Structure 1
């Protein structure tokens, strides 16, 4: 592991200043992703800026009925918060589908958003990887690519975003609060993460020196009709092969509003608002669900080993829509698909 300096920020301004002063500095909160990458000699920061003392752990009610989640609130705190479970149960369910209790206790909300999009080759410095070393090539293309992207990939990178929480936040149209050298700003969640394009080393749209301070959730009518369905190689502590977050409002068995986000299939949580809008007013039935799946996967393309993900994603989308429409979301404690 490369030697590094360590400082502990007492204010958000301190953290921003430390990042601005050293382009090779990285923030540490829970450390559940960063420490792993440093151990594998993938991340090599010159300086670590510990932000655990910043006053960003609260989960607060907003005047409009929404909720603000501080960037340092742990995944467990968010998942088990009574207000989140009542008003945004999709988020609670997605968090509980991820990682392990120990990791959820340590991992933070902001850190979850900032974890690296990655694959086997990213973790192996002996192999070419455009995310780790821009211009070196993508070993997954033509290599072992069973877990890789079927949507939004480029010839530079086919890795997939690992988060469960972020898939739910995408479906809920969350807003990311950011603070940096230019002051505070808000970022629509859909615009926060990036597809690889020709800069796969950039996972998100944060500018240099900016940090996440919180997440905002606006009121909705999805608590009665939602689900987070995750398919993986084993029933716990595994990244998704395909996951689906559905938030639905219905009336008289018709779709009033539909939001659906996919995980495990792209470099960022995958969502298509234009496709969602096409089904406003449609019957909430099997035929509609099949059409939704076809529409969302219209541009899907496998890489060989991961070709199976396309039919798997189609079936998962339909099953998730069925669960949400029936008002019987996936039970993350049981894990068996309902």
Structure 2
């Protein structure tokens, strides 16, 4: 069923995604915003997200995103959850979700808990943006919508190099290019381009990384104190985990940064057969088999040891197989 067919009697729609929105979350939310605005202009459409990366500024109408949510929650006719695996990952948008008359979840994460009234979870899709292309009417996709979809596909496939890139992914990307999308601009500005400070913090994380588990796992950590010293925020840390992942011989990369005193965000990437989503789910997070994350509390060395222990268990089981 197409998205427009799901809007019978709907007059107000709220759109949101997961906390700390990445390219796929931002892209799918903004693509849906543009698509509905252009094809159902009589419907009120509101987007609720935490502030997004400045590197996504080529996407139109980011200033329309509500980043500060009111305490007086409205009762929307429909809440669309995009690229979010569980209700708690909606963050401050959770009360809006809970007060909506109807809810639909569009996602592609294996850890999705199917928390909405209607759930469209496609594990075969490279990204939620790829899934949204399928539920949009292709001939009604504008350039604005296509740019947002392309952003999400680019980010969740690592510029088409991750194993989740399929023939269908490339076909859809080609169709988006035919809409006028400037591929080089989106890829360079949102994926590769770094500020001087971002390059500095990337360099420091690489310099202080270390190998464990017979050099099969690489780990890098970043304290809040160091982030404050460089004047960077979590939005400046994009790409660090991906650079760690491409270290030769490494099967799993782990990047941990401090968000508050003894509170951490953990990102994991796998090259081999380790299922990092299982580890993330164990610690209350989620994601994909080869890309997942979670939040943890405690001393940094305890967080590192707990994560490494779970990676080690999977590696040992592989050796026994």
TM-score by length of 1: 0.26
Structure with greater proportional helix content: 2
TM-score by length of 2: 0.27
**Structure with higher RCO (Cα < 8 A, 6+ apart):** 1
